[in-house]
Amino acid sequence: MSILLKNGRILDPAQNLDIIGNVLIDMDQVVDMGPEAMDDLADEVYDCTGMWICPGLVDPHVHLREPGQEHKETIVSGTQAAAAGGFTTICTMPNTDPPLDNPALIDFILDKAASPEAGGVFVAPVGALTRGNKAEQLSDLAALKRAGVVAASDEGAPVQNSALMMKAMEMCLQLDMPIMAHCEDASLSKDGHMNEGSMSAMLGVKGIPRSAEDIAVMRNCILAMQTGCQLHIMRVSTWGTVELIRLAKHLGTPVTCEVSPHHFILTDEMVKEFDPHYKITPPLRTQIDVDIIIQALQDGTIDCIATDHSPHASYEVQAPFDEAPFGIVGLETVVGLTLTHLTHKGLLSPLNTIEKLSTNPARILRLDAGTLKPGETPIAQVTVINPDLEWTFDVNKTFSKSKNTPFDGHKMKGKAMLTFCGGEIYRDSQFEGSRYRSVM
Amino acid sequence: MTQRNLLAIRHLEVDQIEELIDLGQELKKRVNESKALPDMSGLVMGMLFFENSTRTRVSFEQAAHYLRMKSANFGQAGSSMSKGETLKDTILTLRYERLNGLVIRHSASGAPMLAAEYFGGPVLNAGDGQHEHPTQALGDAVTILERKGQIKGLKVAIVGDVLHSRVARSNAWLLHKLGAKVNFVGPRTLMPAHSGMLPGDVFFELEDGIEDADVVMCLRLQKERMNGTMISSIGEYAKMYQINKQTLRWAAPGCLVMHPGPLNRGIELDDHAADGEQSVITSQVENGVFVRMAALYWCFGGGRKKNSSEASTSTAKSTRTTKAKPKGKAKA
């Protein structure tokens, strides 16, 4: 069946394309795009007037929690949430239980993601950099690569030993595979629960200093510079990290980085009365950090936006702040938050917004995604966003199994309305003429 | 009858602090003169002490005893929490076991806020992590008032491990709100790196910090922290920050010496400071009982007037009934 997305604003940073026009999808492929009318070629026509037609969004940093923590999220529920958020490809992190350190587990992930009940989005697994995710001994990275991982990461278990990290980089360079680095000096962050600052001092909560992140970022950049390994820094949260990455890039280091919406919107002051919904790793920092992160998004120092979707069961979050787990869900709020807090404020152009949410993460992780160009992706990955739709996030309507977010009830402007990954996999109920709100 | 929580001094308005202090003083007088006390019989307080504590627990039990309340003790060891139950579920269980209120001590800062949310109130914070210990500060305030007559205008030095001290935070908020000048004194390693939101000035040299102080509050050093990365040795700490005959000369004449206990005698202070005329340490302990009586009475809806900013201090919902009828006997 052919589908025509009609009269939308086509935004494709990979082609530097920002035009009003139509996109025709046929036989699961984008077959044509442009300003010309193609109504007579399509079986079904969607009026996208006032909306953006973009390459499917790509999230480089998602926790699907399966295997082992299915009470928080599953591959099925997580991919459905991803489709509802406008994503067509997501990278799932390896700190599951057991960790994704062997090919059988990668097969398991890929099989589950391809099952009919899943959300229909591509899942790109990230392998555990170390065996058992213990940060002690390298995983069999070649076998993981053969099994289909797109990168290796020490997510959840930051490698403290510099010699081990250097060996990991040498190995990943040989395998032509990026390392996604969790940058945290554990000796500085140990027992910390929030940003070390005035608020932590007042609340009597052990703080995590900026230096815990900055030192690890600097070390990893130095090692990447020395080895030539492609390094992707996850979750930038401090101004110091921004400056260090800027310097490293200036020196020619093959380094990229991501930021999560909460780190360009929220600050540690919001922890206030010990609300665990604001307990995130790395912790929420200060307004200075937020301001410099936004500048870095604008000037390209920060390459992409990642949700760091980290589901936790409600009973785990309903705990004293010190005992609550780190992290929040984010797949279904990222478009609204990014457009509300960056794009509509004129801080990012629409084309740059899509670049951060799709083109750049696809490029960094060498994924077959991030563009509308016919033939560039195995099947069509297209997201339609209504940038002007004002809505309020209701966490009870999420597809995720978990509801840990500080953005429940948050008013936003901008929402993913349609997600295509081959066929239509999500259509928002607020889309005009919608028959249903669904996930395939 | 309005029920309310006592979770942190930081949340209280000045008139609420004054009301609690006045109540404590009045109740002390009544106890000492064997006069009638509020009768809160029929009420059962759950005493949830998830951290070791003797003095605070006994003090609350004694306060409850004077008010004819019953107390039911819960500790983490042997409790459902040691079997993996969450704090939320423990609190809900106690709520539906029809306890009338909770006194909670917990190693996590903010745990009493969570308890208040799920219990519905009244909940009294008996010390949470490194956050606050409000009844300690109230007892200390009564002690200062007895000796100095007022708090406004005093200079109070809080000396020692400010970083980890809930006593320091509660006292600083109370003293600041009542018009005292607060100095925090201690080594950089035991001082918050960013103290801007705490109500006091920071000094690293003892002499500078306690100069002309009317009150010196020593904080207990947790010995387990002493030989790690916090400070090089106990001996060095004592040499730099001990309150003793020599260092007390830097403070104002008649300066009070206080300590929340338990003392590390010979470390935070020497015998002269601990046992001398300037020491009010035993009064602090005694007054702790009376302000805890005041706190229990206040939380169950006693007191002279309606709370002016209840929302900031209480999440208690008035859906629960209580037999507390103090009949306004306690003047404030």
pLDDT at position B227: 58
Integer Cα distance of A239 and A221 in angstroms: 16
Which of helix, strand or coil describes residue A190?
coil
pLDDT at position B79: 65
Per-residue pLDDT at A27 exceeds 50: yes
Per-residue pLDDT at B5 exceeds 80: yes
Average pLDDT of span B94-103: 94
What ipTM does this complex have? Answer: 0.89
Short-list A317, A315, A316, A208, CA closest to A268: A208
Integer Cα distance of B147 and B138 in angstroms: 15
Average pLDDT of span A412-434: 89
Q: Is the pTM of this model over 0.90?
A: yes
* Cβ–Cβ under 8 Å, residues A82 and A59: yes
* Cβ–Cβ under 8 Å, residues A128 and A180: no
Residue B160 class from Cβ within 10 Å (0-12 exposed, 13-18 middle, 19+ buried)? buried
Per-residue pLDDT at A418 exceeds 70: yes
Per-residue pLDDT at A366 exceeds 80: yes
**pLDDT confidence band for B313 (50 / 70 / 90):** very low
| Distances B215 to B88, B201, B237, B244 between C-alpha atoms, Å | 40, 15, 20, 14
**Which residues of B touch chain A, with CB atoms under 8 Å apart?**
10, 86-88, 106-111, 113-114, 118, 128-132, 166, 169, 192-198
* Cβ–Cβ under 8 Å, residues B186 and B160: yes
pLDDT digits (tens, 9 = 90+) for B108-140: 999 999 999 999 989 999 999 999 999 999 999
Average pLDDT of span A322-340: 97
Average pLDDT of span A203-229: 98
* Cβ–Cβ under 8 Å, residues B113 and A273: yes
pLDDT at position A433: 59
Per-residue pLDDT at A386 exceeds 70: yes
**pLDDT confidence band for B52 (50 / 70 / 90):** confident
**pLDDT confidence band for A37 (50 / 70 / 90):** confident
**pLDDT confidence band for B225 (50 / 70 / 90):** low
Q: Choose from B197, B201, B312, B314 for mutation: most chain A CBs within 10 A.
A: B197
Can the peptide bond before residue B253 be classed as cis, meaning omega within 30 degrees of 0?
Answer: no
* Nearest-CA distance B163 → chain A (Å): 7
Integer Cα distance of B43 and B63 in angstroms: 13
* Nearest-CA distance A7 → chain B (Å): 51
Short-list A217, A230, A213, A293, CA closest to A261: A293
pLDDT at position B81: 66
* Cβ–Cβ under 8 Å, residues A57 and A335: yes
Q: Would you give the end-to-end CA distance of chain A in angstroms? A: 16
| Distances A267 to A65, A200, A238, A279, A369 between C-alpha atoms, Å | 27, 12, 11, 11, 33
Q: Do A205 and B130 touch (CB under 8 A)?
A: yes
**pLDDT confidence band for A219 (50 / 70 / 90):** very high
A-chain residue closest to B169, CA distance? A202
Integer Cα distance of A258 and A237 in angstroms: 10
Which of helix, strand or coil describes residue B216?
strand
Q: Which residue has the higher pLDDT, B45 or B226?
A: B45
Short-list A171, A163, A88, A79, CA closest to A127: A171
Q: Choose from B114, B176, B182, B195 for mutation: most chain A CBs within 10 A.
A: B114
Q: Do A203 and B198 touch (CB under 8 A)?
A: no
pLDDT at position B74: 86
Residue A410 class from Cβ within 10 Å (0-12 exposed, 13-18 middle, 19+ buried)? middle
Average pLDDT of span A38-60: 93
**pLDDT confidence band for A57 (50 / 70 / 90):** very high
Average pLDDT of every residue of chain B: 89
Integer Cα distance of B38 and B36 in angstroms: 7
**pLDDT confidence band for B53 (50 / 70 / 90):** confident
Per-residue pLDDT at B331 exceeds 60: no
* Cβ–Cβ under 8 Å, residues A28 and A422: yes
The amino acid present at B158, given as its one-letter code, is: I
- How big is the CA angle at B56 (ends B51 and B57), to the nearest 5 degrees? 75
* Nearest-CA distance A324 → chain B (Å): 10
**pLDDT confidence band for B82 (50 / 70 / 90):** low
Average pLDDT of span A33-38: 88
Per-residue pLDDT at A204 exceeds 50: yes
Per-residue pLDDT at B323 exceeds 90: no
pLDDT at position B223: 73
Q: Do A197 and B194 touch (CB under 8 A)?
A: yes
Q: Choose from A191, A200, A202, A268 for mutation: most chain B CBs within 10 A.
A: A202
Residue B245 class from Cβ within 10 Å (0-12 exposed, 13-18 middle, 19+ buried)? exposed
- How big is the CA angle at A358 (ends A236 and A80), to the nearest 5 degrees? 95
pLDDT at position B303: 57
| Among B87, B109, B196, beta carbon nearest to A203 | B109
A322 interfaces chain B, CB cutoff of 8 Å: yes
| Among B108, B118, B196, beta carbon nearest to A322 | B108
Task: Name the A residues in 253-282 with CB < 8 Å from any B CB.
Answer: 273-274
Q: Do B110 and A320 touch (CB under 8 A)?
A: yes
Residues 6+ apart with CB under 8 A from A233: A181, A183, A217, A220, A221, A241, A245, A255, A256, A257, A258
Average pLDDT of span B284-294: 98
- Residues of A with a known catalytic role: 308
A-chain residue closest to B170, CA distance? A202
